[in-house]
Amino acid sequence: MTSISLLGCGLMGSPMSSRLLQHGYSLTVWNRTRSKADALRQQGAQVADTPAEAVAQADIVITMLEHGGVVEDVLFNPALPGAATKLKPGALVIDMSSILPEQAQDHGRRLAAQGVAYLDAPVSGGTVGAEAGTLAIMAGGQEADFERARAVLDVLGRPVHVGPTGSGQLTKLANQMIVGITIGAVAEALLLAQRGGADPAKVRQALRGGFAESRILEVHGQRMVDEDFAKRGSLAIQLKDLRNALHTADGLGFDAPITQHLTDLYAQAADHGFADLDQSGLYRELQRRQSR
């Protein structure tokens, strides 16, 4: 039986660990704040003191961490000690965190140098998707490594192999671009309709099921109709994601005018005090512009 180690038992990593345990995998977990790892002990997980200890026996190592800097630390920092110091040759690291494509490529190269395989496989779908095992999983790396990981990834969601190492992270950025821009489209359209005297709740209802239909119109459009911008997603993180997309585009010599324009709008929203709202709070920035 495949032995799995999961590093990072936060909001996403904990329900993912539970699913792996429910599906009979032998699982060792590590988390910086140990109490979150300990909570998985009664479900059958082993709890390790360090990343290195956690991965020593693992065939597959899953990382689900805050950002690229933390992944770098947890894999490669010798003082922690990081996982790379103890990874078995032939092990497979699946990084499901959202980090920059260039970081993923760097991690992949460094692990390959010690005979360890690597997939970048970030997700979309949030904690609901993690609990239900319905995450969209965007995997970059070698086809054979993807096939090796597939049974495990199938427990967590709907994996698609999109290209070579880094492609998973690139696809996650594409996801965040579409999400961020579509939120702007829905916000601007609902605000205009309201300005002209239409009822935004009825407008949203009328648009559902036509060509304007989207998950954003369904979920974030409802938040706009309710003017309820309590943080589920985060406008500050949406802005960071768009900046990461622009940084990546820049490195590829790619001109992304729409992403640039929306990045400017989210930045203005943050400047005007809306950073801690839900990402649908871009509505507040577009609303603010009407009263100047």
Is 231 an active-site residue? no
Assess contact for 46 and 23: CB atoms under 8 A: no
The residue written with tokens 């039986």 in the block is: 1
**In the complex, what is the shortest distance from the CB of residue 218 to a copy of itself, in angstroms, rounded to a whole number?**
9
| Segment contacting a copy of itself by CB under 8 A, of 20-28, 59-67, 194-202, 269-277 | 194-202
Residues paired with 118 in a beta bridge = 93
| Segment contacting a copy of itself by CB under 8 A, of 8-16, 39-47, 148-156, 166-174 | 166-174
The residue written with tokens 């990084």 in the block is: 95
Assess contact for 204 and 225: CB atoms under 8 A: yes
d(CA 118, CA 196): 53
Asked if 171 is part of the footprint of a copy of itself (rule: CB under 8 A), the reply reads yes
d(CA 6, CA 159): 18
d(CA 233, CA 128): 13
Interaction with a copy of itself in 125-144: which residues (CB under 8 A)?
125, 134, 136-138, 140
SS (H, E, C) 136-161: EEEEECCHHHHHHHHHHHHHHEEEEE
Residues paired with 157 in a beta bridge = 135
Asked if 124 is part of the footprint of a copy of itself (rule: CB under 8 A), the reply reads yes
Q: Which is nearer to a copy of itself, 19 or 220 (CB)?
A: 220
Assess contact for 118 and 141: CB atoms under 8 A: yes
The residue from 115, 254, 271, 276 that contacts a copy of itself (CB under 8 A) is 254
Q: Which is nearer to a copy of itself, 13 or 129 (CB)?
A: 129
Q: How many residues in the shown chain lie near a copy of itself by CB under 8 A?
A: 74
Asked if 90 is part of the footprint of a copy of itself (rule: CB under 8 A), the reply reads no
Q: Which is nearer to a copy of itself, 222 or 290 (CB)?
A: 290
The residue from 4, 71, 186, 277 that contacts a copy of itself (CB under 8 A) is 186
**In the complex, what is the shortest distance from the CB of residue 125 to a copy of itself, in angstroms, rounded to a whole number?**
6
Interaction with a copy of itself in 209-248: which residues (CB under 8 A)?
209-217, 219, 245, 248
Of 36, 172, 231, 240, which residue is the catalytic one? 172
Cα 226–Cα 232–Cα 233 angle in degrees, nearest 5: 110
Q: Which residues are catalytic?
A: 172
